[in-house]
Chain A
Amino acid sequence: MEEKLLEINHLKSYFFTRKGVSPAVDDVSLAVPKGKIVGIVGESGCGKSMTAKSIMDLLKYPGRIVEGEILLDGKDLTKLSARERRRVRGEDVSMIFQEPMTSLNPVVKVGKQVREAILTHQKVDRAEAKRRVLEVFRQVGISEPEKRYECYPHELSGGLRQRVMIAMAMVCRPKLMIADEPTTALDVTIEAQILKLIKTLCETTGMSCLLISHNLGVIAQMCDYVYVMYAGKIVEQGDVFTLFDHPRHPYTQGLLASIIHLDEQRERLSTIPGMVPNLMHLPEGCAFCNRCGQAMDCCRTKKPELYDLGGGHAFRCFLPGESEASHA
């Protein structure tokens, strides 16, 4: 097995609201190998963004990490002091967000915002910092970097802003970049460009990437290894080929079935019935049981464990072996 850069073990991040405790991230374990792109996929509200925010220590009150470890190069981030944790942010791990429109400070020039990342972590003078910013701007494909440096965010298009965000995430040469739905807010043509950019950057710099998306197409295109999340838990994991060719969990199967295939003639679009359950009122058994077409009695009373199929493929269900046959 290749060397792991990031390893999360049994991470639990809960939100403590007045109405009750909401387990946004419930016993999640995952790993990101060096130089690889790992994807987390799931519907909105399944806890994928919260997992990313837990890694970055950006959970907002009333949310916090309850237990578990986040190992970066073998060092547990949850044990670090606030100061050390801050040094890791931006320097070793950086993050790009979903909304390039709102993720940049509207009243500060974009060049300055990127330069700030360097000045925070490295002892260089402003001129040198600016030189490096321009270099990274070129690297992420921003034309006329000198001119863009002086622009305010509202003067740039969505695609350019996301490039600025990537530049900001890249500028300190981090080991890991977390991309939380980096292209959801963009046009399809721009989406393809940005995804290609991220992939190229990972390949050329040896950086790892944790890519979060609800879009299976994006995941299939980009990732080496995939985790499927549902209601705060990982329900299936595996390398991208195995997972897409032989999905085992009924939820993954449902997700894949709901992709529109233009070459197929179908009466209706396939959907997963029902909605994502409220995390505060999860069913007693499997969180998916109320929407699952194959739910059995035990699904409603007991929580399924992760069932290892070997080769890194695992899924959380009581239906080992049978489900594939019934759905083939």
Chain B
Amino acid sequence: MLKSIGKRVLQTLVVLFCVSLLIFILLRIIPGDAITTMMGEHANAETIERLTKEMNLDKPFYVQFASYLRDICTGNFGSSYTLNKPVTELISAAFPNTVMLAVFAALIAWVIGMVCGIIAAVRKDGILDRLFMGFSLLGVSIPVFMVAMLLQYLVGYRLHWVDISGVKNWTGFILPAIALGWNSAGSIARLTRSTLVEVLQEDYIDTAKAKGLGQGAVLLLHALRNAMLPVITMMALQISSLLSGAVITETIFSINGVGRLAVDAITSRDIPLLQGTVLFTTVIVIVGNLIADCLYTVLDPRIRKGA
């Protein structure tokens, strides 16, 4: 088991390296000059020179990349040039909000998604199944911004249930979290249903029933444990789409999170900030997937001892 996890960690490191290289290339080797793109046409020569030095743009490519790698390894993402603050500081201020939002959304999505998926699978082809699956397809198809705006308009503006003037305490996260979790709930419900339906056809379910176990025990002790394996992988993949969605949700609900920081960075053409936010978010996704893989290895004895 340790060997397979070690191999996985090594692979992750390779991917991490490639990811940072890709971001580096995408943001430095843009058509035209990075500094002019950043500053616009009216930058004065002095600023351009200073920034060129600061970002090592006068050195050869590999030197630039090496110093960039060294910097990010020490947690130094440079300074935001529009906000005049270290990127690390900006991200660490924004990150808790994104975490709060994503965790809330994930909880909503996973609980609702799994419960609906399980009920639909157990009552396959019944009314609840059709209802939940119709809803889940709606959940997958509806754009995040539409849910967000509908909630803002109906619940916030029309019904005045929740204050929408900004996020002051944790209750402010309720609507954004629902908007963000909606999509994931749909896909988790669908996956839970399809794997559980498949697992319930397995021979060992008949064995468990033949033993005299009740429906609940069969479901809990035998079916769910097997059905959860793909669902856990899916949940890890959801981290990525949750963070994508957070970009939009944070923008709509004016939450000061990492995603909004990235959008601001793009509109103000702030390369260090954009680089920092994208790299940071991607690292989170990669680490999340690594954890899920390790969890999978622990939960599935066939992989645990086989690999």
Contacts and interface: CB of A to CB of B under 8 A. Distances in A.
Interface of A: 56, 58, 60-61, 86-91, 94-95, 97-99, 102-108, 113, 116-117, 120-121, 152, 154-155, 165, 168-169
Contacts of B212: 86-91, 117, 120-121
Given A107-B226, A117-B212, 16 more contacts: A58-B209, A86-B213, A86-B214, A89-B210, A89-B211, A91-B212, A95-B210, A97-B206, A103-B203, A106-B204, A106-B300, A107-B302, A108-B222, A117-B211, A154-B302, A154-B306
Contacts of B300: 106-107
Interface in B195-238: 201-204, 206-214, 217, 221-222, 225-226, 229
Contacts of A105: 204, 207-208, 222, 225-226
Contact of B302 (A98, A103, A116, A152): A152
Contact of A103 (B204, B226, B305): B204
A106 B226 contact: yes
B299 A107 contact: yes
Interface in B110-150: 124-125
Interface in B178-210: 201-204, 206-210
A104 B209 contact: no
Contacts of B225: 105, 107-108
Interface residues of B, number: 27
Contacts of A58: 206, 209-210
B301 A152 contact: yes
Contacts of A165: 207
Nearest to B229: A107
Contacts of A108: 221-222, 225
Chain B interface mostly: helix
Which 9 residue pairs across A and B have the least CB separation, nearest first? A90-B212, A89-B212, A102-B203, A152-B301, A90-B211, A103-B203, A105-B204, A95-B210, A117-B211
Interface string B254-280: 000000000000000000000000000
Nearest to A117: B211
A168 B305 contact: no
A74 to B, nearest CB: 21
B203 A99 contact: yes
16 contacts: A60-B201, A89-B210, A89-B211, A89-B212, A97-B210, A99-B203, A104-B204, A105-B222, A105-B225, A105-B226, A107-B299, A107-B301, A116-B208, A117-B212, A120-B217, A152-B305
A241 B209 CA distance: 36
A94 to B, nearest CB: 6
Nearest to B209: A58
Contacts of A152: 301-302, 305
Interface string B288-307: 00000000000111100110
Nearest to B125: A61
A103 B206 contact: yes
Interface string B3-14: 000000000000
A89 B209 contact: yes
Interface in B45-68: none
Given A107-B299, A107-B301, A116 B207 contact: no
A120 B211 contact: yes
B123 to A, nearest CB: 10
A37 B125 CA distance: 40
Nearest to B299: A107
B203 A97 contact: yes
Contacts of B201: 60
A116 B299 contact: no
A99 to B, nearest CB: 6
A169 B212 CA distance: 11
A44 B159 CA distance: 63
Which among A116, A121, A154 has the highest number of chain B CB atoms within 10 Å?
A: A116
Interface string B62-92: 0000000000000000000000000000000
